[in-house]
Amino acid sequence: MWAQILSAPYRFEKVEVAAPDAADLGPGQVLLATKAGAICGSDLPNFRGAPFPHPKNGGQWVTSAPGFPMHEVVGEVIASNHPEHRTGDLVVGWASGFDAIAEVIVSDGDGLAGYDTSLTPTTAVMLQPLACVLYAAEQLDDVTGKTVAVVGQGPIGLLFSHVLKSRGALHVVGVDRVDRSDAGTTFGVDEVVTASANLWAGSLRAKERPQVVVEAVGHQVTTMKNCVDAVGFGGEVFYFGIPDDLVYPFDMMTFLRKNLTLRSGATLERRRVLEDANVYLAEHPGLRDAYVSHVFGVGDVEGAFHAAANPQPGQFKISIEM
């Protein structure tokens, strides 16, 4: 079967590898013929050459493996050892091997769910990041009537803006270096700020400080401090994503004196929140056409990753058609 592999940082090449065998499926696993994938911000450090503790290599750190790095996937079940998935089902969710840029993959069925098949696979793949955001939003206190700021208006940050607005936030501020004026109304952003998090946080007067701040930038340690500086007294900060650095410097005195709450965490109950994402997308059909802004063919996966690593106005989620 074919797979794309990182032959060097920033460079993919197509290779032929042995296809996984349905006879080797473990309990709860399914065999998928991939239909589409999408690039997550957490994939980009690996694209640039950062190592990763790959689950299919016993957690050993790797910089290259067939189909790696991609975990957002849509596929057709071609064999199943999971009670909720049958041959022929179309599913969306997590490629548990982080190897979705391949013709056929083995994945954990608990991280997959069916979807509205009126969606194209390259659109349906958005249900995975939406599920992550819905789960994260559940962890926050009630945002009804509050001012909320989302720092980072990439694909995840835009979904946070939309979800928190739908959950009753009075005023949503979207902060990003990239101009997101064209996305504000669609994604529920009341105030688009085109600036660094540092400049935005430093410009706020006491009465302008949001009660909730979501850090949706990741990949750097400084924006966490900016969020702590920006949030109002007694407020909440939510850190989303996989950190590039294992240890973050933290302004504990400001955190203490402002009586703040810090939340984070990985997405649990994945099948349940994928089903919730299906419902949410049906209730907000405008997201279907807006969220995935660019679709690349698998023959240009390298171009897709380069685009994702260099965000531009009008560019949101990038999907890859398998």
Per-residue model confidence (pLDDT) at position 90:
98
Per-residue model confidence (pLDDT) at position 124:
98
Whether 144 and 73 share a structural domain = no
Per-residue model confidence (pLDDT) at position 192:
98
Whether 82 and 178 share a structural domain = no
Whether 135 and 242 share a structural domain = yes
Per-residue model confidence (pLDDT) at position 77:
98
| Strand 212-215 to 236-239 pairing | parallel
Whether 140 and 259 share a structural domain = yes
| CA separation for the pair 164, 142 (Å, rounded) | 10
Nearest to 98 by CA among 8, 5, 1: 5
Q: How far apart are the first and last CA of the chain?
A: 13
Per-residue model confidence (pLDDT) at position 58:
73
Per-residue model confidence (pLDDT) at position 22:
94
| CA separation for the pair 60, 48 (Å, rounded) | 18
Tell me the C-alpha to C-alpha distance, in Å, between residue 15 and each of 46, 49, 68, 78. 19, 19, 12, 22
Query: Residue 175 domain-assigned?
Result: yes
Whether 103 and 150 share a structural domain = no
CB atoms within 10 A of CB 129: 21
Contact 184, 209 (CB under 8 A): no
CB atoms within 10 A of CB 139: 12
Contact 291, 154 (CB under 8 A): no
Q: Which helix (H) or strand (E) holds 5?
A: strand 2-8
| CA separation for the pair 22, 81 (Å, rounded) | 9
Query: Residue 157 domain-assigned?
Result: yes
Per-residue model confidence (pLDDT) at position 196:
96
Whether 223 and 109 share a structural domain = no
The full length of the chain comes to: 322
Q: Which helix (H) or strand (E) holds 223?
A: helix 222-230
Q: Which helix (H) or strand (E) holds 8?
A: strand 2-8
Query: Residue 279 domain-assigned?
Result: no
What average pLDDT values come out for the chain (322 residues) when binned by 10 residues? 96 97 96 98 94 78 90 98 98 97 98 97 98 98 97 98 98 97 94 97 96 95 96 98 90 97 96 98 96 97 97 97 97
Query: Residue 282 domain-assigned?
Result: no
Whether 15 and 61 share a structural domain = yes
Number of folded domains that form the chain: 2
| Structural domain boundaries, residue 158 | 130-263
